[in-house]
Structure 1
């Protein structure tokens, strides 16, 4: 029996991965949902999924959570600055439990990019490689939802404000990345593989044009410098550190850090990534 476990199972990505596993024919009894708060996974338990408590920050919860697991999807934590020790605790517990392979949701070109978010992913990849446990690195690009989640604001203001210039963003939806993760967990030939995952690239100006076309409301892209964007974000209420962090992400886009021309995503999921226009339509429904 092959048992697939997903950490962060009650988060937006984790739930979609479990949906994809079940839709792909994995019996619910062979899926383990690892959640910090198991009560939030009651709906998964009702579908027959095995729910176990597992908290990245409480290593004592992890051995029982990973008992009998064959393949583990380690979804990166959300607490920036604390993720390396958290991920390390999961990897060590997985090794002790005899997990056969760990798939990890990293970030595009984690080993070479200057993206500020990459440092913890890069460190986690090193821990994973040094653990000796076979691995699959799922280096996810940006979520399209990072933008469609702000659709109401774009339509209200008539603009997307950023400092990305004409940098391309190879974004895909959470469902796309979830499908890739499920395929990597259940398929053959993914031992020690590294996948650079991203959809069809677009610029923010192109995204604004797509929103205009789909909604019928004119939206334009207003490009400013990274320091100007940080100042505008501070004026909007963000603290200085957060403002510089967010503006810096756009600077990374301008450098090309969130673009990829590879086809790893489409090869894993057997189709192209979700087009931005479709993602915008879904966000409106």
Structure 2
């Protein structure tokens, strides 16, 4: 069985490749030369002509969603069209929590992609990933310096897990039977608020850290001041508003059942930093 992983140079793609060591696996990326120790092929979501050859001979396509919000749909359509032409046996797609009903601003592109995959006639599994714990530690130095986690999520809870947890689930689904037609709602075993995140960071590093809940416009402006492009800053701020109303408070146990262990806790994750 040949497994092809797209987005193989990205954070999640690299972890999925690591989980699939020992399998007949191919890596597809915009820069295949950056990969070593694995058969790598050129496959660029923005260059549809590269994708059919990249997917040729694939039994299971682990389709890691594109990283640029707002540009995903044409990119994903190109992937699905190429999968049809290449006669891919099954698609495992990394989606988002409750993609078909979630009010979070990132969901519509995933919902549309799921519909494209369903309409393709190719057997599929949707991995509806919740937030990554890593989303909250990219600017950890700044958080510790200023003693604050900023957001607009109020007391909303987030069932985040690590990228490694999600990668392990993708590998299980790609290499075992019984997943066709399933949509797994993946996330951490315990959801947390941003106030709890701030307290966990404070405890781990022995420094005072609090959560500052901001009006959505102020949070968007703060993100811009940190260098986030204006459009994406607005998206992230609007995401927080939906978090306050429960968009990521989804604890199902699907992830821990697939990987055969509890998901990584917030404290365990922070301890490794």
Note whether the superposition's TM-score is higher than 0.5.
yes
The number of residues matched between the two structures is 272
Are 2:10 and 1:20 aligned?
no
Please give the per-residue CA displacement for 1:122-157, whole angstroms capped at 9, x wherever unaligned: 100000000000000000000000012222111111
Query: Which residue matches 2:39?
Result: 50
Scaled by the length of structure 1, the TM-score of the pair is 0.92
5+ residue gaps in structure 1? none
Unaligned runs of 5+ in 2: none
Q: Please name the residue that 2:64 is paired with.
A: 75
Query: Could you tell me how far 1:237 is from its partner in structure 2?
Result: 5.4
Given that residues 164 and 251 in structure 1 are in contact (C-alpha distance below 8 angstroms), is that contact kept between their aligned partners in structure 2? yes
How far 1:265 moved relative to its partner?
Answer: 0.4
So what's the TM-score if we normalise by structure 2? Answer: 0.96
| 1:6/1:153 CA distance change after superposition, 3 Å | same
Q: In structure 2, what is the equivalent of residue 37 of structure 1?
A: 31
CA–CA distance in 2 between the matches of 1:12 and 1:56? 17
Q: Distance in 2 between matches of 1:253 and 1:8?
A: 27
Matches within 5 A, 1:56-71: 56-71=45-60
Structure 2: how far apart are the matches of 1:87 and 1:118?
14
RMSD (Å), alpha carbons: 1.4
Q: Is the 8 A contact 2:149 2:211 kept in 1?
A: yes
Q: 1:107 aligns with which of 84, 96, 111?
A: 96
Match of 1:9 in 2: 8
**Cα offset, 1:232, TM superposition:** 3.3
Of 262, 269, 272, the match for 1:279: 269
Distance 1:17 1:232 in 2: 33
Per-residue displacement from partner, 1:70-106 (whole Å, max 9, x unpaired)? 0001111112222111111111111221211001000
For 2:159 and 2:206, the matched residues in 1 are separated by 24
- Which of 236, 252, 262 in structure 2 is aligned with 1:246? 236
Tell me the residue number matched to 1:211.
201
User: Shift in Å at residue 240 of structure 1?
Assistant: 4.3
